[in-house]
Amino acid sequence: MEKEKSLKGVRVLDLTNVLAGPFATLHLALCGAEVIKIETPGSGDLARKLGNVPDFNKKNMGTSFLAQNCSKKSLTLNLKDDKAKEIFKKLVKNSDVVVENFRPGVMKRLGLSYEVLSEINPGIVYCAISGFGQTGPDAFKPAYDQIIQGLSGVMAINGDETLNPLRTGFPVCDTVGGLNAAFAIMVALFYKEKTGTGQFIDIAMLDSIMPFNGWVAANLLIGGKQPVLMGNDNFTAAPSGTFVTKDGYLNIAANKQEQWEDLCDVLGVPELKEDARFKERDTRKGNRKALTPLLEAKLKENDTTYWSEALNAKGIPSGEILSLDDALNQPQVKHRNAIAEVETPEVGKIKVFNLTAKFDKTNGDVDTPPPTLSQHTDEILSGLGYTEKEIEEFKENKVV
């Protein structure tokens, strides 16, 4: 029997652009919500022009857009026009969620603030995503992922003494901001289910990424210790990091005492277990620079695959450092059905991510490809009761 979608019947009005917002609404769409992507006529989401395939960009189907917008519908509305605002308000009346990632104050200037929309629909969940949040001394500053990576401390704790500051290789603040928004929307929908009442959600990318500093921040906030640049080493244990093998590199995380002792046996250096520099966990951490060359002397005797298999067989976490291409195509990822292939208008077959949470009773797979710009405008307007003639007039007057 085919699994149903957990958010079936939930309607989301998605006014977001580029990444943080679309990533949030993508998760809602994969869970079965009807996500109506409301875009500016003629141009649409800026991500439609972003990507490494110029031909796709010209078709308003850039790879950046394709990655975040499966299972959504596209409606174009010129929200500066009064008739378009009327259409939007009609949609709000029968929707559950509104998501936007404009700068603070934009929706208020359009006359479409949460206060206005909640009068129309008291159950509406309104999520505003921005760089710094709706209030505070930095609220009105422009923000992109790079800026937030710097302001959050992320770049300061990456790299080593030879390469720092260092940004994360993907837009982590945008992505985490989107996840935080999706989580918050689900919480608000749960609250609405119990009370019938919607609410306003204020998501800041800066707020969202800060807790991801996790143990590093805890060491400073609670332990009073400043972070140390350690590159690929893990500050919580040793040996735990990246090591040189005969043909490349291997990640090893011997975080437990028994894993350390088993590692010594597998590598054929049992004497290190009794070496005063390495015998105890905290002493080992302090002597990692002396320990690493001793381990690598043995690791260089065989290749990465050999050591990965040998160490894992003994319960010592280890793994190769894969290229992105190899990572996306590894057997475990295929087994987990993490990536779907979907036929897409204007583009052809593309590969995108399914929902990576696996539920035994509900489904999170991609249903439909990313929409072409304005693909569902007629369908949605007809559903609101507008006639063909009215829809044509909207188009002529650039309302839609």
DSSP string of 61-120?
Answer: --HHHHHH-TTEEEEE--TTSHHHHHHHHHHHHT-SEEEE-PPTTHHHHTT--HHHHHHH
pLDDT class for 200, splitting at 50, 70, 90?
A: very high
14 counts as catalytic: no
| pLDDT > 70: percent of the chain | 100
Q: Which of 45, 96, 145, 174 is catalytic?
A: 174
At residue 236, the pLDDT reads 87
DSSP annotation of 159: S
At residue 3, the pLDDT reads 85
Return the closest-CA partner of residue 333 out of 342, 346, 324: 324
pTM score over 0.85: yes
Distances (CA, A) of 288 to 163, 235, 244, 308: 20, 10, 14, 21
Return the closest-CA partner of residue 251 out of 265, 237, 271: 237
Whole-angstrom Cα distance, residue 397 to residue 189?
Answer: 36
Mean pLDDT of 305-334: 97
At residue 6, the pLDDT reads 95
Distances (CA, A) of 259 to 143, 176, 243, 252, 317: 44, 32, 16, 10, 8
At residue 1, the pLDDT reads 63
Mean pLDDT of 344-367: 94
Q: Tens digits of per-residue pLDDT, 81-114?
A: 999 999 999 999 999 999 999 999 999 999 999 9
Across 225-328, where does the E strand assignment appear?
240-244, 249-253, 318-320
Distances (CA, A) of 222 to 164, 209, 225: 25, 19, 8
Examine the pLDDT at 178 and tell me if it is beyond 80: yes
Mean pLDDT of 350-372: 95
Distances (CA, A) of 274 to 20, 232, 265, 291, 364: 51, 26, 12, 13, 51
Mean pLDDT of 25-34: 98
At residue 235, the pLDDT reads 87
Whole-angstrom Cα distance, residue 383 to residue 274?
Answer: 75
Structure tokens that stand for 91 in this block? 């949609």
| pLDDT > 90: percent of the chain | 96
For the chain, which domains are there? 11-212+334-396 (3.40.50.10540), 240-322 (3.30.1540.10)
pLDDT class for 350, splitting at 50, 70, 90?
A: very high
Examine the pLDDT at 256 and tell me if it is beyond 80: yes
Mean pLDDT of 125-146: 96
